[in-house]
Amino acid sequence: MKGRPVRGGVCGLLFGLSLTLFLLTTGVLPLDSILIIVLPVVILLAGVVLGIAAPLKRSRLSRAPSAGA
């Protein structure tokens, strides 16, 4: 486990809920669509996977100084 799966799950759920709300209030997604439930769950799971896989590297500025420096 290289990243933060719990943070990924929580933020994924919040992102999914926000995205669903945005799509609802802009009329893209109708209120009777099952995607209202599916979308937050899928993005929650994607967040967990993102946290486990951690494909993003730290920026150079936030890296620890090397031992030889």
Partner 1 sequence: MPRSRLVVAALVLGGTMALLAASPAAADAVDPSGACSASGHWQDEGVDRASADHVPSDLIKIPQKDTVRWAGNIKGYALGAEGPRREISGEVEVDIAGVGTATIDDWGKSSVRYANEGEHDYDVPDVLLNVKMRLQGEHREAPEGSASFTRVCGGSVYLQVTGGMFSNPLTIAALVGMLASGAGLASAGVVRKRWAFEDTNPG
15 binds partner 1 (CB under 8 A): yes
Q: Could you say which of 41, 42, 45, 53 contacts partner 1 (CB under 8 A)? A: 53
For residue 1, the number of C-alpha atoms closer than 13 Å in the C-beta half-sphere is 8
Q: Which long-range contacts (CB under 8 A, 24 or more apart) does 22-29 make?
A: none
CB of 39 to partner 1, least distance (A): 10
Radius of gyration of the chain (CA): 17
State which of residues 45, 47, 60, 61 lies at the interface with partner 1 (CB under 8 A). Answer: 47
Establish if 37 lies at the interface with partner 1 (CB under 8 A): yes
